[in-house]
Amino acid sequence: MSFRRKTPNTTPPTMNNNMNERVKQSAVAAMRSCIDTLSETASITQSSVLPHDVSSSDTEDDHAYACQDVSSLTSAHKNAIRFMRKAKYFVARRKFREALRPYDVTDVIEQYSTGNVDMLARMKYLQLRLDKVLGSSKTADSYESGLSLASRIVKIERQVEGLDVKVDKLCQLANNVLENRPRHSSSREK
């Protein structure tokens, strides 16, 4: 079945209107071939996909979708299809216009600066947390705060060094005492 609609030729093409008429005719021919292709594929796919034996529990609405060609669609279905296509078109057109809208430079700079400030604040917060856990490379006096893990470790290391010095002094005293003691004991024996 062909869906070609006969177009009436009301005016013969003139020299001024000749180019427009050729474009219109080629567009009409392209549309007709698309409609023919669609109708053939619709009848082929619908007949091959749909089951042949339909149960009696199906409603009348289900049978409306089992049409063999486009011509058997009801006007309500055609209007619904038109509405859906127009809605998709208007949404796509709106998105396209939004994409084409030029950017205001002040808005772009403002968004960039607020994003940059926010990013710097987050980086500063993370740096403070890292300094608390790991500590940063600081001078010896800056470890007196005691907040970071590194300052606590430095404090313990200093205490260990102090204990090491005290143990060394005690070892030297013990060695001196032991060296002096045998002299006194040997003199008593004589």
Tens digit of pLDDT for each residue in 68-92? Answer: 677 788 889 999 999 999 999 999 9
- CB-CB neighbours of 179 under 10 Å: 9
Q: Where are the domains of the chain?
A: 1-47, 73-102, 105-189
Q: Which residue has the higher pLDDT, 96 or 11?
A: 96
Q: Name residues whose C-beta falls within 8 Å of residue 135's C-beta, 6 or more positions apart in sequence.
A: 143, 148, 149, 150, 151, 153
Residue 143 phi/psi, 5° resolution? Answer: -85, 5
Q: What is the pLDDT of residue 153?
A: 85
Scan for tokens 């590194």, then name that residue. 150
